[in-house]
Each structure stands twice: as C-alpha cells, then as structure tokens.
C-alpha cells in the first residue's frame, strides 16, 4: 500500500510499504478515509526527536473497518470509526481508570502509546491506505455510517479532545472566563470547547492574524501579542485575571522578540490567571531537549515562576489527553450540530501530496491552519 514515510529531518515521502494485517485476535485493520497532519508531527519532521527512519507517520486517523481478529465482537467490518491517537489496552490499571493516555501495556516500560510517533511504541501511523488497530474493540469509536461530517469527525482522534482536555484540566465551570495561549489547532479547539461548555468569555492569545481571526469567528476574544503585553490585556479585560487558563503552545514557545523561551507561556499564564485559578497544559513539554539553547532547557527544566504560582494558590493539570474519556460525547455534539470543529480545516490533500502538506504547514505559511489527507 501507499504510506507517508519518515526518511530523516525535513524529508518525508509517500512510498509503497507492506499492507498491515491482523497480528493478534484483538486487532482490526482499518481502511483510512481521512487522516490529518498534527502540529506534533512537526517535532519529528524537524528532526527534534529520535523517531526511526522508515516509520509511517500519522496519529489522527479515521476510516472503515476492513478486517477484524477472532476476539473482536463489538465492532464489525464496514463500521465507520475514529481512532484515538493513544493506543490503549483497556485492561491495565490506568486504562480501567480512564487514563488511556497512560496505558501501561501498549508500550512496555513507558506509560502511553500512539500510532506513528517517536518513543510511543512500535506502531505505524495512519497517513496511509490502511492501519492496524490494536485492541480494536476498545479503541475504535463508532461513527454514524456514511460520509456526513467527515471533516468534523476527523478531529475526534486528537485535536478536539485534546483542546477539550485542556479546558477540563483547567477545571473551568460554566460562567467563568478562560485565557488560552496559542491559536493553533489545539488552542482553537480549546476555545471551541470552552464556549460549548458555557464559558462567559474566552480569550485566545497569539500573534498570527489569520489564526486570531479564526478565534474571533468562533466567538472568542482575540488577544494579539503584537499589540501589547498579553497579560496586561487579559488582566484589564477581566478586572484582575481570568478564572482559568490553557497552554496550547508547549516548549517551543517564543518570546515577543522571536527567541525560543520555553517557560514564557507558563509564566504568563500564572500572571494572567487570578488567585485560586486552574491552568490546563496540553502543549507538549519534554523531559530532555538536547538541542535546546539554554542549559535548563536541555535538561527539560524551566525557570518557572513558582513562588507566584503558589502564592496565588493556583492548580495545574497536564499531559496527553485521555481521548476515550471525551470522544463519544464530542461525536454526539457533532452529530447534533452543537460542535463543528471542521472550521479548522484549511486544506484537503490527497495522500500523494502529503509531503507538500508537511512542508507548508511546517513553514506556517499563512492560512495553512490544518491539513487533512485523503488516501
């Protein structure tokens, strides 16, 4: 089959690879109808991870069940399904608590596995014609048959639940205000989520005009960092600070001067959120970053404004989204027309053009918000 393969830094290509097949009785094989390029794929694309050459990338996958193993009983051939980016066994100590982002069996020695991703287990990704899905009865989310809402449902594998998770980690309640750093796909999904969950006001901080415009279109208040200090803007609009905050940026954050400052978003959130407020962090931070500039950053450490964080009595939740906790509810919101995450999609490409998609998305070419691939 055809698949998008990682060859090295800034080098991916669509190649012929062996077809995936049922390897265990709990497996299914899914024919991919839609798969997206994720911002976190760019970490690998840019060579900042140790992902192996030859890996098929892609963890935002949906499609039609093509084949199932002997132990499969819930899903069946022909079902339209969304696959959470996390691969989870469904039976370990973490999975039974719903912590499917931290499965203890899918990637032994670590907590958490994913398709086509560095350090997340030996699983190929779904930017391909077919995908092997382990523990498929557990992992696959069934969707209404047909092709309706394809571009909405494709956001169920990662960015919509991840944005939602950020708002959950921030413990936002209806009627509250929330400030979200980053107007990329995850930040915009966090804003969409907060509005669905009854936020009184949602602020989205970024410096890219096209993304801020999207934030405004969905009902959020755009905060343009180029127009002045973001913390001051938020503090003024909220009479002292937002109730909650979300970091949808991660360690590759940049200061107003354009330099990489991995701690800047977290420290601004501590300042922009009021005392007792909660902060949810879904932008990625890494335990080591050997290529980073600062000494602390190399060790995965940050000069975190901890004294203020404590003095304000704030709380913080972090980490990969446990996709299965949210995706069924979000699917139903889409089906009923209450959520429409497809507003994110800027480009639909055939799989054959995937390399172009990586290139444009990575260079943050204006208007390339989210690239969707159709094998």
Q: Is 76 in the site for a second copy (CB under 8 A)?
A: no
Phi, psi of 177 (to 5 degrees): -105, 155
Here the tokens at position 374 are: 């159709």
Q: Is 319 in the site for a second copy (CB under 8 A)?
A: yes
Q: Shortest Cβ distance from residue 35 to a second copy (Å)?
A: 23
Site for a second copy in 226-255 (CB under 8 A): 251
Q: Shortest Cβ distance from residue 329 to a second copy (Å)?
A: 2
CA atoms of 281 and 169, how far apart (whole Å): 7
Which span sits near a second copy by CB under 8 A: 67-75, 120-128, 203-211, 344-352? Answer: 67-75
Q: Shortest Cβ distance from residue 63 to a second copy (Å)?
A: 19
Q: 17, 42, 67, 92: which one contacts a second copy (CB under 8 A)?
A: 92
Q: Is 365 in the site for a second copy (CB under 8 A)?
A: no
Q: Is 16 in the site for a second copy (CB under 8 A)?
A: no
CA atoms of 110 and 241, how far apart (whole Å): 38
Q: Is 73 in the site for a second copy (CB under 8 A)?
A: yes
Which span sits near a second copy by CB under 8 A: 1-9, 96-104, 206-214, 225-233? Answer: 96-104
Residue 12 or 88 having the CB closest to a second copy: 88
Q: Is 31 in the site for a second copy (CB under 8 A)?
A: no
| C-beta of residue 297 within 8 angstroms of C-beta of residue 309 | no
Q: Is 218 in the site for a second copy (CB under 8 A)?
A: no
CA atoms of 79 and 67, how far apart (whole Å): 10
Which span sits near a second copy by CB under 8 A: 10-18, 79-87, 121-129, 334-342? Answer: 334-342
Query: How far from 100 is each of 112, 326, 332, CA to CA, in Å?
Result: 7, 11, 20
Q: 18, 78, 174, 258: which one contacts a second copy (CB under 8 A)?
A: 174
Q: Is 351 in the site for a second copy (CB under 8 A)?
A: no
Q: Is 360 in the site for a second copy (CB under 8 A)?
A: no
Q: Shortest Cβ distance from residue 121 to a second copy (Å)?
A: 15
CA atoms of 95 and 75, how far apart (whole Å): 19
Site for a second copy in 114-173 (CB under 8 A): 137-138, 169, 173
Q: 157, 235, 320, 323: which one contacts a second copy (CB under 8 A)?
A: 320
Which span sits near a second copy by CB under 8 A: 35-43, 48-56, 93-101, 353-361? Answer: 93-101
Residue 20 or 112 having the CB closest to a second copy: 112
Q: Which of helix, strand or coil describes residue 299?
A: coil
Measured at the CA of 19, the angle between CA 149 and CA 109, to 5 degrees, comes to: 85
Here the tokens at position 139 are: 């992992």
Q: b/e for 242-273, b at 16 or more Cβ within 10 A?
A: bbbbbbbbbbbbeeeeeeebbbbbbbbbbbbb
Sign of CA dihedral 74, 164, 63, 101: negative
Long-range contacts of 101-108 (CB under 8 A, 24+ apart): 101/319, 101/320, 101/321, 101/322, 101/323, 102/319, 102/320, 102/322, 106/134, 106/135
Site for a second copy in 266-285 (CB under 8 A): 266, 275-276, 281, 284-285
Site residue total, a second copy (CB under 8 A):
83
Sign of CA dihedral 332, 335, 340, 345: positive
Which span sits near a second copy by CB under 8 A: 2-10, 64-72, 144-152, 367-375? Answer: 64-72
* Extended strands (E) in 118-176: 130-133, 141-142
Q: Shortest Cβ distance from residue 359 to a second copy (Å)?
A: 28
Site for a second copy in 189-208 (CB under 8 A): 196-201
Q: Shortest Cβ distance from residue 239 to a second copy (Å)?
A: 11
Q: Is 96 in the site for a second copy (CB under 8 A)?
A: yes
């Amino acid at each position: 089959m055809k698949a998008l393969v990682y060859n090295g830094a800034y080098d991916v290509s669509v190649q012929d690879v062996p077809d995936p097949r049922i390897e265990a009785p709990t497996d299914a094989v899914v024919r991919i109808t839609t798969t997206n390029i994720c911002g976190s794929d760019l970490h690998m694309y840019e060579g900042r991870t140790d992902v192996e050459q030859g890996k098929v990338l892609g963890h935002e996958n949906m499609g039609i069940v093509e084949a199932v193993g002997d132990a499969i009983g819930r899903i069946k051939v022909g079902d339209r399904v969304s696959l959470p980016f996390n691969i989870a066994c469904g039976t370990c100590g973490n999975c039974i608590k719903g912590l499917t982002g931290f499965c203890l069996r899918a990637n032994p020695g670590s907590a958490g596995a994913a398709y086509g991703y560095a350090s997340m287990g030996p699983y190929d990704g779904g930017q391909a014609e077919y995908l092997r899905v382990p523990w498929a009865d557990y992992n696959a989310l069934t969707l209404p048959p047909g092709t309706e809402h394809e571009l909405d449902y494709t956001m169920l594998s990662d960015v919509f639940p991840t944005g939602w998770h950020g708002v959950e980690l921030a413990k936002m309640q209806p009627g509250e205000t929330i400030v979200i750093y980053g107007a990329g796909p995850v930040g915009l999904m966090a804003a969409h989520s907060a509005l669905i969950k009854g936020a009184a006001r949602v602020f989205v901080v970024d410096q890219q005009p096209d993304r801020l415009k999207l934030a405004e279109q969905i009902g959020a208040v755009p905060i343009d960092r180029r127009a002045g200090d973001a913390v001051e803007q938020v503090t003024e609009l909220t009479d002292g600070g937002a109730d909650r905050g979300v970091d949808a940026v991660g360690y590759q954050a940049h200061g107003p001067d354009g330099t990489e400052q991995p701690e800047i978003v977290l420290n601004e959130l501590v300042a922009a959120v009021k005392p007792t407020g909660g902060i949810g962090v879904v932008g990625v931070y890494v335990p080591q970053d050997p290529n980073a500039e600062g000494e602390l950053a190399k060790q995965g450490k940050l000069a975190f404004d901890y004294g203020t964080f404590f003095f304000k009595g704030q709380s913080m939740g972090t980490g990969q989204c446990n996709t299965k906790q949210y995706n069924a509810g979000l699917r139903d919101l889409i089906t009923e027309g209450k959520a429409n995450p497809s507003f994110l999609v800027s480009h639909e490409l055939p799989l054959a053009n995937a390399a172009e998609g990586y290139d444009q998305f990575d260079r943050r070419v204006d208007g390339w918000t989210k690239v969707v691939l159709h094998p």
